[in-house]
Amino acid sequence: MEILRMVLEAIGGTAGLLLMISIFYQIVIGLFGFKKETKDYTDHDPESRFLVLIPAHNEERVIGDIIRNLEDMDYPREMYDYYVIADNCTDRTAEVAREAGANVIETRKETPDSPTGKPIALRKALNSLGDYQNRYDLMMIFDADNLMDTNMFREVNSQYLDKGKPDFIQCYLGAKNKEGVVAWFYYTGYTLTNRFFDLAKHRLGLNCPIGGTGFAMSTAYLYKRGGWTTMSLTEDFEIQVEATLEGRRILWNHNTRVYDEKPTKLRAAIRQRMRWGQGQWYVTFRNTGKVFRSLFKGQITFGEFLSLLTYMYSVAALPLSIIQGIATVAVWLINPVKPLIDLSVSGVLAGVGVLAYSYFFLFYLADWMDNHIAFSIRTIPLMIGGFVANAIVGAFMQVGGLIKFRDQQHWVKTDHAIAAQTVTTRECSPQLRRKVA
């Protein structure tokens, strides 16, 4: 029994140590988000040519909004082309897009049992476009429900030229909606991480995550890769990991935003996050060894190694907590010297402190700094409800995703329906409103 107790203590201690390292790392990274954001690049005249791809599966209700948005961009119209990829649609997505003036690429499954989803649609579209690497400098991907600031191409062009033509630029990830507990926890999460994770990493010279929409990618690098080759359920995370291990740069742009429609129902959020969890676990398991080999071979710095590894295994927070909890209880059952509650009280207090700082304080600060929305006590119930919803959804993402990580073929669509008339980029972006005024 003594040996068993020692083994359990080692397991619980290791799980707890990994959790503490991850939390401490995130806190340290977040410190570099406190400084007010200023442009770190010089404005340039339009020079870069953009290819815009919009994967869409049965999106007739929202596809017209993003097309009107793209027609109104503050960038020379002859310097960007956009294509709606009507992927296996059974509604009028393709017809609505054409009527609105968009180029449309229709893709179909080869057989009824063939896999489908965003990565496959992107691969087929690029193959159909031929020599895109000669006609365009940058490719940008947007989801069908997105809206974007009209200065996006201009800002990305300037950063791209001023920063030595990096391989990727990810723009600020905003929200079209935040009403209701579920949409609110998405809004709080993105608001917080945009500043205290993505911007902070950028300031440290580290690659920021790729968010799946609103990012620019060098067409030269894309062509060198052989087109769109990432096929997991989190194709954005997969290409981020692969590019980082190749020594590619992924920059962050805090000066222009893409706005995404967030789920409003708990069930929809669970399905979406489960898919994300499946993809992240798959990519993590597949690339962990490569991350260590890249460090030992000098292909990435230790800072980039630590940044990437902690981000990859952020999906393991709940499983590690479960392991630590089970080990703690098992050790107590073997040798109940102290009351079980005494063994956990310090950890609970530390957890409450970290939660108050990282979830409440940092969000309200980011909301004020980036959205100019002051703290309101009326949002506290929403924050508490959002935390509970996030915990439920996170459990499905981290544990359910781990259980199902081998399945990378079954893609589940998130339905979209918010009308553009109720959301404008100027309403979503207070800093742009002040510039215009």
Q: What is the pLDDT, as a whole number, of residue 421?
A: 40
Q: What is the pLDDT, as a whole number, of residue 4?
A: 86
pLDDT digits (tens, 9 = 90+) for 37-49: 889 999 999 999 9
Q: What is the mean pLDDT of residues 188-209?
A: 96
pLDDT band at 338 (very low <50, low <70, confident <90, very high): low
Q: Is the pLDDT of residue 221 over 60?
A: yes
Q: How many structural domains is the chain composed of?
A: 1
* Residues belonging to the chain: 437
Q: Is the pLDDT of residue 431 over 50?
A: no
Q: What is the pLDDT, as a whole number, of residue 81?
A: 97
Residue percentage of the chain with pLDDT more than 90: 74
Q: What is the pLDDT, as a whole number, of residue 352?
A: 75
Higher pLDDT, 193 or 432: 193
Q: Is 372 in a helix, a strand, or coil?
A: coil
Q: What is the mean pLDDT of residues 362-390?
A: 94
Q: Is the pLDDT of residue 376 over 90?
A: yes
Q: Is the pLDDT of residue 22 over 80?
A: yes
pLDDT band at 341 (very low <50, low <70, confident <90, very high): low
Q: Which helix (H) or strand (E) holds 51?
A: strand 50-56
- Asked if the structure places residue 437 within a domain, the reply is no
Q: What is the pLDDT, as a whole number, of residue 427?
A: 43
Q: What is the pLDDT, as a whole number, of residue 375?
A: 94
Q: Is the pLDDT of residue 423 over 60?
A: no
Cα–Cα distance for residue pair 218/139, rounded to 1 Å: 6
- Asked if the structure places residue 120 within a domain, the reply is yes
Is the CA virtual torsion 399, 55, 231, 286 positive or negative? Answer: negative
Q: What is the mean pLDDT of residues 196-221?
A: 96
Burial label, 231 (beta-carbon count in 10 A; 0-12, 13-18, 19+): middle
Q: Is the pLDDT of residue 437 over 50?
A: no
- Asked if the structure places residue 327 within a domain, the reply is yes
Q: What is the mean pLDDT of residues 344-367?
A: 80
Residue listed under structure tokens 């953009």? 50
pLDDT band at 310 (very low <50, low <70, confident <90, very high): very high
- Asked if the structure places residue 174 within a domain, the reply is yes
Cα–Cα distance for residue pair 110/206, rounded to 1 Å: 41
Q: What is the pLDDT, as a whole number, of residue 83?
A: 97
Cα-trace Rg, the chain: 23
**Contact call for residues 304 and 297 (beta carbons, < 8 A):** no
What's the predicted TM-score (pTM) here? 0.90
**Contact call for residues 367 and 243 (beta carbons, < 8 A):** no
Q: Is the pLDDT of residue 428 over 90?
A: no
Check which CATH number belongs to the domain holding 219 and give it: 3.90.550.10
Token pair in block for residue 17: 């140590």
- Asked if the structure places residue 295 within a domain, the reply is yes
Mean pLDDT, the chain, whole residue set:
89
pLDDT band at 408 (very low <50, low <70, confident <90, very high): confident
Residue listed under structure tokens 């309200």? 364
pLDDT digits (tens, 9 = 90+) for 151-183: 999 999 999 999 999 999 999 999 999 999 999
Q: Is the pLDDT of residue 258 over 50?
A: yes
Residue percentage of the chain with pLDDT more than 70: 92
* Residue range(s) defining the domain that contains residue 205: 1-432
**Contact call for residues 258 and 172 (beta carbons, < 8 A):** yes
Q: What is the pLDDT, as a whole number, of residue 38?
A: 86
Q: What is the pLDDT, as a whole number, of residue 436?
A: 32
pLDDT digits (tens, 9 = 90+) for 60-81: 999 999 999 999 999 999 999 9
Q: What is the pLDDT, as a whole number, of residue 422?
A: 39
